[in-house]
Amino acid sequence: MPEAVLFDLDGVLMDSEQLWNQAKEDLVRASGGRWSDEAPTAMIGMSSPEWAAYLRDELGVPLDAEEINRRVVARMEELYAEQLPLLPGAVQAVRAVHGRWPLGLASSSNREIIDLVLDRAGLADAFVATVSSEEVARGKPAPDVYLEAARRVGVRPDRSVGVEDSANGLRAAAAAGLAVIAVPNPHYPPDGDALVLAAATIGGIAELTPELVERVGSRA
């Protein structure tokens, strides 16, 4: 039996990747930088220090990384105050799984964004521990954020099930030793070599059930 379930946030519970990219693109263009079509894919899974440095060094934003991070996060807070883009069935799926296992969150979002989302969604009490990749050494596809989430929950990574949507997220969870359920992001579909790392693939978070988690976890 699995001992815990570790969720990603953006793309799994929230339809938010394009909002992050819009906030970053707006800053790049407003500051005289050079946005590229490849930037959204390149930044998937990056921690905030990593994508802030990318905007500065690769896209030419003439600000220090801390200020870049601050401005993008402030814009995301404004967008989420207007509307929280929860995916259909996300709250119900979390509650259903929470009834069986302790939950952790392993997200590339900043700490303040994680806390804001879970509070507004009414899910803060569902998670034993939440980790932002800005709190570990490396963002996804490195396994750091999942290893730390498992540590904080108090379980072995290889006895846990992860729920991920992106190629780098799938790689991170698999590298940490989790059995992974893929919820492919339609905006940024995972590469085939990442998707094969998943033990199961579902069409949306509403399809996540305790029975599926148990089945996937028992095969780990």
pLDDT at 79 over 90: yes
Judge contact between 90 and 38, C-beta under 8 A: no
pTM: 0.94
What is the model's pLDDT at position 218?
A: 85
What is the model's pLDDT at position 117?
A: 97
Average pLDDT rounded to a whole number, residues 117-135? 97
pLDDT in tens, 5-41: 999 999 999 999 999 999 999 999 999 999 999 999 9
Active-site residue, 10 included = yes
pLDDT at 220 over 70: no
pLDDT in tens, 31-69: 999 999 999 999 999 999 999 999 999 999 999 999 999
What is the model's pLDDT at position 1?
A: 87
Average pLDDT rounded to a whole number, residues 194-205? 97
- Residue 167 — pLDDT band, cuts 50, 70, 90? very high
Residues of the chain with CATH 1.10.150: 17-82
Q: Which of these is catalytic: 8, 144, 158, 191?
A: 8
Active-site residue, 8 included = yes
Residue 162 burial by Cβ neighbours in a 10 Å radius (0-12, 13-18, 19+): buried
Identify the DSSP state of 90: H
Q: Which of these is catalytic: 10, 115, 165, 193?
A: 10
Q: How far is CA 11 from CA 35, 128, 140, in A?
A: 22, 21, 14
User: Which CATH architecture fits 4-15+85-218?
Assistant: 3-Layer(aba) Sandwich (3.40)
pLDDT at 142 over 70: yes
Residues of the chain with CATH 3.40.50.1000: 4-15+85-218
User: Which CATH architecture fits 17-82?
Assistant: Orthogonal Bundle (1.10)
Average pLDDT rounded to a whole number, residues 156-168? 97
